[in-house]
Amino acid sequence: MPLLPETNNLGFDRENMVKMRDVCKTYAGGVVALDHFSLDVRRGEVLVIIGPSGAGKSTLLRCLNGLELIDSGSIVIDGIPLDKNEANQLAIRRKIGMVFQSFNLFPHLSVQENINLAQRLVQKKSPAQANTITRDLLHRVGVLDKAMRYPDELSGGQQQRVAIARALALYPKIMLFDEATSALDPEMIGEVLDVMRNLAAEGMTMLVVSHEMGFAREVSDRVVFMEEGRKVEEAASAKFFTQPQQARTREFLSQIL
Amino acid sequence: MYAKRLSLSLLDGLLLLLLAGVLAFLGYRVSVQLNYQWNWGAIPQFLFRYDAESGRWMANYLTQGLLTTLRLSLWASLLALVFGFAVALARISNSLYLRLLARTFTELMRNLPPLVIIFLFYYFLADQLVFLTGSGRIDADSHPWLTRLSTIFLAPPAQIAPFVSALITLAVFESAYVAEIVRAGILSIYRGQWEACHALGLSRWQSLRYVILPQTLRRMMPPLAGQLVSLIKDSSIVSVIAIQELTYQGSQLMASTYLTFEVWLTVAAMYLLLTFPCSILVERLNQRLNRLQERSA
């Protein structure tokens, strides 16, 4: 008799944080964003997803935490299937932290309140408990001195670091980065990548949509190149950059490197 | 920026002259051609009268009408805000049923003439509403304090039934406009804010309560306040169902005294007394919010 029969039925194994099978997603306008897409991400793995714009990279991330609903296929996050069950959906949303290209900080709340909000509302923490965690995270991302400031008083790099801290405050098991550095001035990209690098070193499972090839090469374990909703190539990052197998991958890399 | 100097050009002078000419002509037509006998002296007694019995000055028809308009507008505004918010939330709800219901309501209210709505509500619903509230059955003798309270805050017990139904009608009708303002305010917030809430695991209600509404309230304030000013003006239409507010008192007074121009000019001035300060308040509010926004930017 297995100890966890229902999870075994789902083909759950402890190492896989993300299990996507044959996921299809077509937008209302008829644009195919994901076309029978399958992907496994192991615990603690850093996966970088690259590809031309419109390849479905953002959609991939957004389907994982339920920002977009999939048309067919299956997604299992840390053993929980993403289905119509609302309890499951909520459990998955709480396991996943997300960082957006446009930061999406709450402009009417101070930095500290931004990070406290979900801790208070979702985790029902006391103000003191939330403050302790918030200040610790702000210290880690290097913006503790801005705790009482409002988002629009911060630089883009600082805002994005606050956004990362806000997502981390809920102790997610997976972090999604949707072009987290694309809206930043060049001199601020480094400070955000540093925070992401530290996070990877601490063993966080990360899915990163990015155009930062240096980061992909240095930090990621695996790279997925996708186009038109399909996986073109998937390889360990060292191999991906030195010996790409597909002609399309080589072409893409030569364009952006 | 340099402060703009107030200066009158020749054209300004001509326009002023023209305006004065038109006014003088109208005055001449009224007093000479219509042979109208102006009698402003008769008006003050309809504002306040001296009660010989109690030896005190008391509010007379017009002032009482003004107070009724004020009470009517105040309660209808509060009710319209509450109901309007509820309708707006239904309009952006996840449930198709609620959305359709709210949509039907706002479209009906916005596409029917207010007068027709007033009559419909009054003749079809007023009796039911009054029966439900039971306010038609307040016994003046047995509850003197209740009578006083009702007279101060709503209307004298005898008139409370029509007053409450007029109040509800006005509130329901205005709530459709409030709902549109609230809905537009909520929709004006960038989608990324909802997505951030979703990603943080906030429920729809929590997102609205703690993130979306606090940001949009500021933007909604000026149009909402403007809508409340127009509610004061719109309250005049309930005179058709014999609510004794300012316009009704004005028409009654005109019918009995024939002081047409004096009465309506006075009524107009009294409405301005209510609405103009509100408009100025709205303006101030706007400026303050703009300054706040500039400072935070």
CB contact under 8 A, B200 and A90: no
pLDDT-derived band at B138, boundaries 50, 70, 90: low
Interface check B296 vs A, CB under 8 A: yes
Model pLDDT for residues B79-129, shown as the tens digit of each residue? 999 999 999 999 998 899 999 999 999 999 989 998 898 888 888 766 665
Tell me B157's DSSP state. G
Residues of A in Cβ contact (< 8 Å) with B196: 98, 100, 104-106
Residues pairing with A227 in the sheet: A230
- Assign domain B42-296 to its CATH superfamily: MetI-like (1.10.3720.10)
Residue A160: inside a domain, yes or no? no
Residues B187, B191, B194: CA angle, nearest 5 degrees: 95
| Facing B192 at nearest CB: one of A96, A100, A108 | A100
| Facing A152 at nearest CB: one of B192, B193, B297 | B297
Give the burial class of A144: count Cβ atoms within 10 A of its Cβ; 0-12 exposed, 13-18 middle, 19 or more buried: middle
Q: Where are the domains of chain B?
A: 42-296
Q: Least CA distance to A172: which residue of chain B?
A: B200
CB contact under 8 A, B192 and A90: no
How far apart CA A190 and CA B176 sit, in angstroms, is 51
How far apart CA A156 and CA A172 sit, in angstroms, is 23
Chain A interface test: which of B198, B200, B210 (most A C-beta within 10 Å):
B200
Contact A176, A96 (CB under 8 A): yes
The answer for A 7-46 residues in CB contact with B (under 8 A) is: none
CB contact under 8 A, A93 and B201: yes
Rounded average pLDDT over B16-28: 91
DSSP 3-state of B212: helix
Nearest to B58 by CA among B41, B70, B46, B40: B46
The answer for A 149-168 residues in CB contact with B (under 8 A) is: 150, 152-153, 166-167
Domain range for A232: 14-104+176-256
| Facing B296 at nearest CB: one of A118, A122, A152 | A152
Residue A250: inside a domain, yes or no? yes
Interface check A84 vs B, CB under 8 A: no
Nearest to A48 by CA among A184, A188, A163, A206: A206
Residues pairing with A77 in the sheet: A18, A80
pLDDT for B292 beyond 60: yes
Residues of B in Cβ contact (< 8 Å) with A66: 198
Q: Where are the alpha helices (DSSP H) in chain B?
A: 10-28, 44-47, 61-91, 96-111, 114-120, 126-133, 144-153, 160-187, 191-199, 204-207, 213-234, 246-257, 260-296
pLDDT of A14 reads 60
How far apart CA A234 and CA A49 sit, in angstroms, is 9
Q: How far is CA A186 from the centre of its chain?
A: 21
Model pLDDT for residues B67-81, shown as the tens digit of each residue? 889 999 999 999 999
Neighbours of B63 (CB within 10 A): 17
Looking at the structure of chain A, the number of domains it has is 1
pLDDT for B10 beyond 70: yes
Residue with tokens 């006391």: A126
Contact A242, A217 (CB under 8 A): no
Residue A40: inside a domain, yes or no? yes
CB contact under 8 A, A93 and B297: no
Residue A203: inside a domain, yes or no? yes
CB contact under 8 A, B196 and A96: no
| Facing B201 at nearest CB: one of A67, A90, A152 | A90
Interface check A100 vs B, CB under 8 A: yes
Q: How far is CA B278 from the centre of its chain?
A: 10
Interface check A89 vs B, CB under 8 A: no
How far apart CA B47 and CA B41 sit, in angstroms, is 12
How far apart CA B14 and CA B136 sit, in angstroms, is 60
CB contact under 8 A, B200 and A104: no
Contact A164, B200 (CB under 8 A): no
Interface check A107 vs B, CB under 8 A: yes
Interface check B201 vs A, CB under 8 A: yes
CB contact under 8 A, A100 and B214: no
Contact A223, A237 (CB under 8 A): yes
How far apart CA A72 and CA A23 sit, in angstroms, is 6
Interface check B198 vs A, CB under 8 A: yes
User: What CATH number is associated with residue A209?
Assistant: 3.40.50.300
pLDDT-derived band at B177, boundaries 50, 70, 90: very high
| Facing A118 at nearest CB: one of B202, B296, B297 | B202
Residue A121: inside a domain, yes or no? no
CB contact under 8 A, B200 and A102: no
Q: Tens-digit pLDDT profile for chain A (257 aa)? A: 344 434 444 444 567 899 999 999 999 888 899 999 999 999 999 999 999 988 999 999 999 989 999 999 999 999 999 988 888 998 899 899 999 999 999 999 999 999 999 999 999 999 999 999 999 999 999 999 999 999 999 999 999 999 999 999 999 999 999 999 998 998 899 999 999 999 999 999 999 999 888 889 989 999 999 999 999 999 999 899 989 999 999 999 888 77
pLDDT of B218 reads 79
Interface predicted TM-score (ipTM) of this complex, two decimals: 0.89
